[in-house]
Structure 1
Amino acid sequence: MSNLSQDAMQQLFSDARTHSHWQPRSIEDSLLQALYEQAKWGPTSMNCQPMRLVFVKSPEAKEKLKQALAPGNVDKTMNAPVTVIVATDMTFYEGMPRLFPANANARDMFANNTALAEATALRNATLQGGYLILAARALGLDCGPMSGFNADLVNDLFFAGTAIKANFLINLGYGLSDKVYPRGPRYDFDEVCTIT
């Protein structure tokens, strides 16, 4: 495996920004499908894949989501071409016989241990949401991830009667780069990392 070019690394990491203001450009459904097709390959523990996605795109779905948004997130979400509800299937283990056939006991290991299942589901769905952000950036989209929303209301509005729970939101589109906030500082390696 070879290194990505510096330009590619900058697109994914150092030049990429969190966006709140959007160009009036739509996102085709085919691009959303391509986005998932890239993000799905990121690793999860025991290939459990608990992330579930709702691409909120239609005016009707946007209005429904609007009810659950914190006031500071309303305008940027209503103006984004697409908002992704990154959610977690708390009964992800039902798919383990298909997804991880190497371990015949994988389903029961989680089904019989609620604490392990919940921790595994949340950890891995969040990890997959990170892959989704990188895949979106790789495909030329800008992202605005958010946690300012009423998760219980989103669950009622979009996942009623299921074991799927909202984790976080990502606005997707083509950002207005002249309207991003100044870049926030980052910790240096020696401040947060240890090599032992």
Structure 2
Amino acid sequence: MTQTIPELALAPAAQDLLFREARTANTFSDEPVTPDEIRAVYDLVKYGPTAMNSQPLRITLVSSDEARSRLLPLMAEGNRAKTASAPLVAILSSDSDFHEHFPTTFPHKPDAREMFAGMGEARAPMAELNTGLQIGYFIVGVRAAGLYAGPMTGFDAAGVDAEFLAGTSQRSRVIVNIGHPGADAYLDRLPRLEAEHVITVL
């Protein structure tokens, strides 16, 4: 028996752009990507929900040749060439001191800043989990801008933290190459699980 899937509110062309036809790029053209384009992406995806509106994602854009030369030795060997060719690279990190940006009168919980300040290292797991959510929003936002993202966890995280995030409460989580696809940019698409393997209705 064939099950009818309801139509979504999002237009099919937008569904294709964000999901069905979106791919992870492994090579890039020389068309530039500017920090202003990523600011526009962030201005869209910042509305994605996080626990208590914690917003722990921090973005470090590697744009200059000098900064890239510091990053490349810290990438896994298989990721080095594509990171070298990407027009722009984003280091996505989690900030365990996210509470410092809370307003002094936090809606519904006015003592939130003080509460999190007293948690110390216990903030880090919350920051990491919610940064993971925001990383997903960021990748979809890059696609919404008509750009292609190549997210990677194959890098020396401790080295990246020391080289780019020293003196901060940030820890690197994912590095994303951003640009327009070049020649032979895509690997074969791997299968996705169907709904019946994922969704349980109780």
TM-score (norm 1): 0.93
> One-letter code of the match for 2:33?
I
Q: 1:99 to 1:167 in 2, by over 3 A?
A: farther
Q: 1:34 aligns with which of 10, 31, 40?
A: 40
Cα offset for 1:96? 2.0
* Equivalent residues in 2 for 1:101-116, closer than 5 Å: 101-114=107-120, 116=122
Q: 1:119 aligns with which of 100, 103, 125?
A: 125
Larger Rg over CA atoms? 2
Residue of structure 1 in register with 2:167 after alignment: 161
Q: 2:104, 2:113 within 8 Å by CA — same for their partners in 1?
A: no
Residue of structure 2 in register with 1:71 after alignment: 77
Cα offset for 1:92? 0.7
Residue of structure 1 in register with 2:154 after alignment: 148
Partner secondary structure for residue 58 of structure 2: strand
* Equivalent residues in 2 for 1:4-153, closer than 5 Å: 4-97=10-103, 100-114=106-120, 116-153=122-159
Cα offset for 1:10? 0.8
Residue of structure 1 in register with 2:192 after alignment: 186
* Separation in 2, partners of 1:5, 1:65: 39
Cα offset for 1:86? 0.3
Q: 1:47, 1:100 within 8 Å by CA — same for their partners in 2?
A: no
* Separation in 2, partners of 1:190, 1:127: 24
Cα offset for 1:95? 1.6
Partner secondary structure for residue 30 of structure 1: helix
* Separation in 2, partners of 1:67, 1:165: 18
Q: 1:46, 1:100 within 8 Å by CA — same for their partners in 2?
A: no
Q: 2:148, 2:181 within 8 Å by CA — same for their partners in 1?
A: yes
Structure 1 window deviating more from structure 2 (122-131 vs 28-37): it is: 28-37
Which structure 1 segments of 5+ residues have no match?
Answer: none
Superposition RMSD on alpha carbons, in Å? 1.6
Partner secondary structure for residue 67 of structure 1: helix
Partner secondary structure for residue 166 of structure 1: strand
Cα offset for 1:36? 1.4
Which structure 2 segments of 5+ residues have no match?
Answer: 1-7
Q: Percent identity?
A: 37
> One-letter code of the match for 2:193?
Y
Structure 1 window deviating more from structure 2 (133-142 vs 24-33): it is: 24-33
1:63-104 C-alpha deviation (Å, 9 max, x unpaired): 111121000000000000011000011111112235844311
TM-score (norm 2): 0.91
Cα offset for 1:52? 0.5
Cα offset for 1:130? 0.9
Cα offset for 1:57? 1.0
